[in-house]
Amino acid sequence: MQTLRSSWVWQRWGLRIAGQRFDHGITVNSRSSVEIALNRQCRSFSARVGVDDLSVLGRGAVRFSVHADGQRLWQSPALGPGDRAVPVNVGLAGHERLRLVVEPVGGAAPMTLGTWAESVISCQ
């Protein structure tokens, strides 16, 4: 992970989205960008995304997106507190940089936390 080029990231275990428990993942603010240098040939990125249950005061919706080398590969629908986790699975063949983005939808959502649960980058 490129820490100087990324937003605040909280690596967690035992997190929850809409009451469903996940073993591991990262949690970020409602406006964030996390950049990862792919230092070898990678095949795919997968995760389950949603608003973290710790967002008890957050009522805003967020949208998740996955970018590689400046190109958006995937985008979620608007997700709010209580919405079930949405699966993401994108191919990374030929890409050198991965960027995970969370943005508020329809205005500010400062107390809303986005979670990339069960995140896996599959590489050779």
Q: Which string of DSSP letters, residue by residue, matches 77-111? A: PPB-TTPPPEEEEEE-TT-SEEEEEEEEESS--TT
44 pLDDT band, cuts 50/70/90, is very high
Q: What is the pLDDT of residue 9?
A: 75
CB proximity list for 98: less than 8 A, separation 6 or greater = 35, 36, 38, 42, 45, 66, 67, 68, 92, 121
Q: What is the pLDDT of residue 4?
A: 54
Q: What is the pLDDT of residue 87?
A: 98
Can you give the pTM of this predicted structure? Answer: 0.90
The domain containing residue 118 runs over which residues? 3-123
Q: Tell me: the pLDDT tens digits for 68-116?
A: 999 999 999 999 999 999 999 999 999 999 999 999 998 766 678 999 9
Which of 57, 22, 47 minimizes the C-alpha distance to 102? 47
Q: What is the pLDDT of residue 8?
A: 63
Look up tokens 């990374």; give the residue.
92
Q: How many domains does the chain have?
A: 1
Q: Tell me: the pLDDT tens digits for 51-74?
A: 999 887 767 899 999 999 999 999
